Each structure stands twice: as C-alpha cells, then as structure tokens.
Amino acid sequence: MTGKTVTRADLAESVFRKVGLSRTESAELVETVIDEICNAIVRGEMVKLSSFATFQVRAKNERIGRNPKTGEEVPISPRKVMTFKASNVLKQRILRSHLARKAKQKPANPAH
C-alpha cells in the first residue's frame, strides 16, 4: 500500500480533468455529491452506489463489554453506527490489483 490519502481536492481535480468543468464547479459538484450522501445517511436512508458500495445506518443494542486493562465489565450503551459494505465489483477490482502487484514482485527463477 502506498499510504496516499485521496482528498476532496483530489476528487475535484479529477472531475476538472475528466469532465471539463471549471475547478470551482468541479469542487462544488464534489461537495454536492458528498453532502447528498451524508444527508441521506443522517436521515437513516441506505445509500447504494452501484459497483462501489452500500452505506447504511445500523442500530446496535446495549451490551456488556470489558475494559481490556482491568477486565472490568462495562455496559456499552445502544447506539447507531454507519456501515460500509463494498460491492462485489469493488472487491474483485481490489483482488485483481493485489494479485497483479504480487505477480510483479515475484522474483525470477534462476536458470539451472
């Protein structure tokens, strides 16, 4: 892994280069899409981006957890969490990329 983080500015720059909108319009478009996704999630709606992923809010019940240092039982209050589930298309792309990188790193067998 390279450790690079893709930012909103990177997304806007990509829209600028590929779509041809101005940099300002590209940044506004990225913000609008992100805002719409966030607003839908906050409303409790499922967001499904075909060939990418599904974002969903899930309710978690109260449960008993343990403090890892002391071993003491602690109640964990009920809460809502957002889940991200990658699509099979995305999972396959990641796997293919991983396998391709792995194949390039394989050392050549010495001649006998």
Greater confidence, 73 or 1?
73
Q: Domain residues of the chain, as ranges?
A: 7-43, 49-105
Indicate whether 97 pLDDT > 70.
Answer: yes
Question: What is the rounded distance in angstroms from the CA atom of residue 11 to the CA atom of residue 29?
Answer: 10
pLDDT score, position 102: 87
pLDDT score, position 110: 56
pLDDT tens for 57-96 read 999 999 999 999 999 999 999 999 999 999 999 999 999 9
Q: Looking at the whole model, is its pTM more than 0.85? A: no
Residue with tokens 């805002």: 35
> For the domain bounded by 49-105, which CATH number is listed?
4.10.520.10
Residue 30 exposed, middle or buried by CB count within 10 Å (0-12, 13-18, 19+) = buried
